[in-house]
Amino acid sequence: MSKPLYYARIPYKDVFAKPDIIPRGADTLEGAVAALREFFKAPLQKPTVVLSGAGLSVASGLADYRGPKGTYRVNKNFRPIFYQEFTGNHEARKRYWARSFLGWPTLSHAKPNKGHHGVASLARLGLVSSVITQNVDSFHPTAHPEIPTIELHGYLRSVVCTSCRSEFPRAPFQEELARLNPRWAAFLAEAIAEGAFDTENPEERRSRGIRSNPDGDIDVPDAPYSTFRYPACPTCLSNPPPKADGSLGIVEIDNDGAWQPRSSGAILKPAVVMFGESINDQVKKAAEVAIDGAGRLLILGTSLATYSAWRLAKKAKDMGMPIAIVNMGGVRGENILLEGVDPHQNGAQIVRTEILTEELLPLLVEELQREAYATGRPRPAGVPLERNGGAVFKDMLS
Does the annotation count 140 as an active-site position?
no
Catalytic residue among 116, 140, 144, 153: 153
CA angle 241, 245, 246 (to 5 degrees): 45
Please name the amino acid found at residue 98: A
| SS3 state of residue 208 | coil
Amino acid at 56: L
Give the torsion through C-alpha atoms of 158, 160, 165, 168, to 10 deg: -50
Distance CA 104, CA 335 (A): 38
Q: Are 190 and 204 in contact (CB under 8 A)?
A: no
Residue 65, SS3?
Answer: coil
Report which of 371, 304, 362 is spatially closest to residue 119, judged by C-alpha positions: 362
Task: Report the distance separating Cα 239 and Cα 142, nearest Å.
Answer: 35
Residues 36 and 347: beta-carbon distance below 8 Å: yes
Query: Which residue, 336, 347, 276, 343, is CA-closest to 304?
Result: 336
- Give the single-character DSSP code of 248: P
Separation of alpha carbons 78 and 87, rounded Å? 20
Question: How far is it, in rounded angstroms, from Cα 233 to Cα 258?
Answer: 10
Q: Are 296 and 39 in contact (CB under 8 A)?
A: yes
Q: Which residue in 175, 201, 200, 207 sits closest to 188, CA to CA?
A: 175
- Report d(CA 267, CA 86) in Å as an integer: 9
Catalogue the active-site residues.
153
